[in-house]
C-alpha cells in the first residue's frame, strides 16, 4: 500500500519530468500503481490549492495541480497572487507587491524561499539581492509554465 508521503514523492518526481515507468521500475511497483497514485495526489493538491485560495480570498485565474501552482488575484488586496506547493516549504501564498526589502525582517527568508523554489522547478534566475525583483522574475516564469 502506498502512503500519502510516497504519493507526494511520486508527484515531485513527475514534476521533475521523471517518466512513470522509471518511477515504477526504481521502486519495483507497477506503472499503473504510480499512475493511480499520481491521479490521487493531483486531486489532493488541487483541493489544497483551492482551499488556500478560498481562505485567502483569491479568485482563481489558472490552476495546475501537476505543478502545484495556482495563479489568481487577491480580492481584498487587489493584486496578483500565486499559491504554490514546495517540497521543502509546503504551501505558500505570494502576493505581488513592491516591498521595501532592505528594511524587512523577512529579507533572508524570502531570498532563501525564492531560490529554493526556483531550484525545485529548475528555473534559472538572474542573480539579484532584491526579493521583489526575484519574485517578479520567478513568478513570471511560473505563470508561463502553468
Q: Which DSSP string do the residues of 56-113 spell out, in sequence order?
A: TTEEEEEEETTTTEEEEEETTTTEEEEEEEETTTEEEEEE-----GGG-TTHHHHHHH
Q: What is the pTM of this model?
A: 0.85
**Per-residue model confidence as pLDDT tens digits over 86-125:** 888 999 999 988 778 878 888 889 889 999 999 998 999 9
- When pLDDT is averaged across residues 30-52 and rounded to a whole number, the result is 92
- Over 70: is that where the pLDDT of 4 sits? no
**Per-residue model confidence as pLDDT tens digits over 119-145:** 998 999 986 778 888 888 999 999 888
Amino acid at each position: 500500500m502506498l502512503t500519502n508521503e510516497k504519493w507526494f514523492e511520486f508527484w515531485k518526481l513527475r514534476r521533475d519530468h521523471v517518466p512513470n515507468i522509471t518511477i515504477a521500475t526504481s521502486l519495483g511497483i507497477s506503472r499503473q500503481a504510480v499512475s493511480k497514485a499520481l491521479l490521487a495526489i493531483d486531486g489532493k493538491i488541487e483541493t489544497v490549492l483551492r482551499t488556500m485560495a478560498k481562505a485567502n480570498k483569491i479568485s482563481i485565474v489558472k490552476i495546475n495541480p501537476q505543478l502545484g501552482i495556482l495563479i489568481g488575484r487577491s480580492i481584498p488586496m487587489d493584486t496578483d497572487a500565486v499559491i504554490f506547493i514546495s517540497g521543502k516549504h509546503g504551501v505558500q501564498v505570494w502576493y505581488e507587491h513592491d516591498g521595501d526589502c532592505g528594511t524587512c525582517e523577512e529579507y533572508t527568508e524570502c531570498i532563501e524561499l525564492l531560490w529554493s523554489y526556483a531550484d525545485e522547478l529548475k528555473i534559472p534566475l538572474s542573480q539579484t539581492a532584491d526579493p521583489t525583483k526575484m519574485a517578479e522574475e520567478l513568478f513570471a516564469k511560473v505563470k508561463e509554465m502553468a
